[in-house]
Amino acid sequence: MSDWTLRLTKSLHQARSQPESRYFQLATLTEDLVPANRTVVFRYLDNVDNALVVVADTRSAKWSELSLQPKASVCWYFSKSREQYRFIVHGEGYTRETAPELIDKQWSKLSDAGRKQYFWGQPGSVKQSNGPLRVTEDMSHPPEHFCVLKLLIKSVDYLSLQGNPQYREKHWLDSSGKWVSQPIIP
């Protein structure tokens, strides 16, 4: 396991009683080269691919933005341990067509409320009525637009506010594909 993986695993453990620590911000780049940022739920850390895994909708902007430009940024703050992680990532999208087992597994982990969101209609489109969005579909199987995003980590910028002075270090892959780290001035 790399140094940053051990750090992140520890941060997640320390924040296990704080649901808000499972949210991070994912910034992609729009077609017009404007950064687009949004909050997503961290699902799990894929130790084989070194990836943060999230679920999403292929009809959303983040999917099309990552399809055009897979390079993206993640910013994640753990308020209890006062640590910030900034990751440069490469986004890879999976659907039922390309990764049925992964999709079915992540779908099975969603609550009914989580599943319903995928049946409200096209994200970002005009809402046709003022009433509540009703879902009558069978939610036992994921719709084709349900997707998993693997955010493959290419570098890590870690900052801890715990001490005085603060502590910051960078982690990146060297030319042989091995993780290296370097403390830097905060």
Please state the closest distance from residue 65 (CB atom) to ligand FMN, in A: 7
d(CA 4, CA 186): 17
Beta strand ranges found along the chain (DSSP E)? 23-29, 35-41, 44-46, 51-57, 71-78, 83-94, 146-160, 167-173, 179-184
Binding residue for ligand FMN, selected from 29, 45, 61, 102, defined by CB under 6 A: 61
The residue count for binding ligand FMN (CB under 6 A) is 15
Question: Tokens 């597994």 belong to which residue?
Answer: 105
Q: Judged by CB, which is closer to ligand FMN: 53, or 156?
A: 53
Query: Is 44 among the residues that bind ligand FMN (CB under 6 A)?
Result: no
Binding residue for ligand FMN, selected from 6, 41, 68, 133, defined by CB under 6 A: 41
Q: Judged by CB, which is closer to ligand FMN: 61, or 173?
A: 61
**Which residue type sits at 128?**
Q
Binding residue for ligand FMN, selected from 7, 62, 96, 171, defined by CB under 6 A: 62
Which ranges in 2-158 belong to alpha helices (H)?
3-14, 61-68, 100-109, 112-116
Please state the closest distance from residue 2 (CB atom) to ligand FMN, in A: 25
Among the listed residues 98, 76, 100, 101, the one whose alpha carbon sits nearest the alpha carbon of residue 87: 76
Judged by the rule CB under 6 A, the positions of this chain that interact with ligand FMN are 23, 36, 38-41, 54-57, 60-62, 123-124
